[in-house]
Structure 1
Amino acid sequence: MTTTALVSIIGPDRVGLVSAITGRLFDLGADLGDTSFAVLGGGAEFTAICEFSGGMELEVLQAELEALPELVDAEVKVSRFELSSMHPASETITHTITVSGGDSPGLMARLCEVFQQFDANIVRLNSERVPGVGQRQYVISASVAIPPQNENTCLATVTNTAGELGLTCQWTNVSA
């Protein structure tokens, strides 16, 4: 009996945090699927799909993770994951796109609207405010699946949208 769990942890960022979590999951027999980690301000967020081929009680998994010293003051949530643990072919990343420059209100929403307009699926999305000369800088990195018939117009529109906001845009075709 296989148990598939979604593990979500948010708490203070610490050196060794990811090592402690993934090491404990390995010790418990987890096969990690999609996993993400990000520092969010002074905190950190870890999320993973974990498959246990021999089964696993979710309450036991949560207690084991909560017992880690690196997770003191962290919120640990473990829940059954009922969706597919594998990406469909339509979510295969075709491009990575980075938009950066001065912080511009509404930037994230405008970029996401462009992706939707061209049926591009956002597979991963990260944004970060970083110190800059005179003003904060903003960096958005997106890994997207753009349908081949929409590739050129989608990329041109993303580039033009960034340019209208005084931002730079770089993209890489990762499916070629």
Structure 2
Amino acid sequence: MTSIALVSILAADRVGLVAAVADRLFGAGVNLRDTTFAVLGAGAEFTAVCELPSGVSTGDIEEGLKALPELAGAQVHVVPYAFDPAPVGTGRVTHRVTVSGGDQLGLVARLSEIFTQYGANIVRLEARKLTEEEGGLYVTRFAVSIPPERADLCLAAVGNTAGSLGLSSQIESSTL
């Protein structure tokens, strides 16, 4: 019988990091479910809900990952996953919203509150300040699940808020 675990890694970013982690997990018979990877400044974060094969413990997986040279000095945690690993309806992305422009203190808080008011669930969030060579903009991307009957009003509120702050917004519906 398989067990479900959460693998969480915070490490210095480097080429081959995901390949090394994924290969180690594959070699242990681990099946990846929901998985994310992100570069955060000079660091990187890898998080995955995993199915562990029978007879393999979270300690076995953590020990194996910590032995990787690519993870020297990293924070590696493998723990039992206490939630249902099956996606729920509010985990399905219905819209992708990008807001960009000058850096605005509290922008993520304002937009998050709008989504909450309209019953929308934030599935993924990415925010970053681009380098001057890339234009120096602050770009925030939300992947959200918005109830269909509230989508138009919610997206209009997001667009109005962005516009009132002198920011541009781009919205696309997802077919996922």
Give the structure-2-normalised TM-score: 0.95
Q: Work out the CA distance in 1 between the residues paired with 2:57 and 2:160.
A: 50
Match of 2:8 in 1: 8
Q: Work out the CA distance in 1 between the residues paired with 2:38 and 2:128.
A: 10
Match of 1:92 in 2: 92
Aligned amino acid, residue 147 of structure 1: P
Displaced runs of 4 or more, over 3 A:
none
Percent of aligned positions that are identical: 48
Q: Work out the CA distance in 1 between the residues paired with 2:175 and 2:150.
A: 14
Q: How do 1:61-100 and structure 2 match up within 5 A? A: 61-100=61-100
Can you list the C-alpha shifts for 1:136-167, whole angstroms capped at 9, x where unaligned? 42111111000011010000000111111111
User: Compared with structure 1, are the counterparts of its residues 49 and 55 closer, same or farther at alpha carbon in structure 2 (3 Å cutoff)?
Assistant: farther
Q: How do 1:139-150 and structure 2 match up within 5 A? A: 139-150=139-150
Q: Work out the CA distance in 1 between the residues paired with 2:96 and 2:55.
A: 36
Match of 2:127 in 1: 127
Deviation at 1:132, TM superposition (A): 3.6
Aligned amino acid, residue 80 of structure 1: P
Further displaced range: 118-127 or 88-97: 88-97
Does 1:18 find its partner at 2:18?
yes
**8 A contact 1:128–1:140 mirrored in 2:** yes
Kindly report the root-mean-square deviation, in angstroms, between the aligned alpha carbons of the 2 structures. 1.4
**8 A contact 1:3–1:55 mirrored in 2:** no
Unaligned runs of 5+ in 2: none
Aligned residues: 175
Deviation at 1:90, TM superposition (A): 2.9
Query: Residue 39 of structure 1: SS of its match in structure 2?
Result: strand
Can you list the C-alpha shifts for 1:11-47, whole angstroms capped at 9, x where unaligned? 1001000000011111111110111111111100100
Unaligned runs of 5+ in 1: none
